[in-house]
Amino acid sequence: MESDPERIKDYLDLQFIARALERAGDYSKNICEDAIFVESAVDIRHGGVLSHEDK
């Protein structure tokens, strides 16, 4: 960035795009977790899937 100060806006745009893509991934992960919970009543959000024997 120091060698290309006129491109700072472009670099910031890339940072905002990366953040938006990360949020989109988080939203899709949450949708998948909710779908699994609705279908099988298994909460996989914290620590993975436990089998019925582990409970």
pLDDT tens per residue, range 8-54: 999 999 999 999 999 999 999 999 999 998 999 888 887 755 555 55
| Total domains present in the chain | 1
53 domain-assigned:
no
Q: Taking the model in full, what pTM does it have?
A: 0.63
48 domain-assigned:
no
- At 11 the pLDDT is 93
Please answer whether residues 52 and 40 qualify as being in contact, where contact means their C-beta atoms are separated by less than 8 angstroms: no
1, 3, 18, 23, 49 from 12: Cα distances, Å: 10, 15, 10, 17, 39
Please answer whether residues 26 and 15 qualify as being in contact, where contact means their C-beta atoms are separated by less than 8 angstroms: no
- At 49 the pLDDT is 57
Please answer whether residues 8 and 1 qualify as being in contact, where contact means their C-beta atoms are separated by less than 8 angstroms: yes
How many residues are given for the chain? 55
What mean pLDDT is predicted for residues 3-9? 86
- At 46 the pLDDT is 77
Local structure of residue 52 (DSSP, 8 states): T
9 domain-assigned:
yes
Range of the domain at 23: 5-40
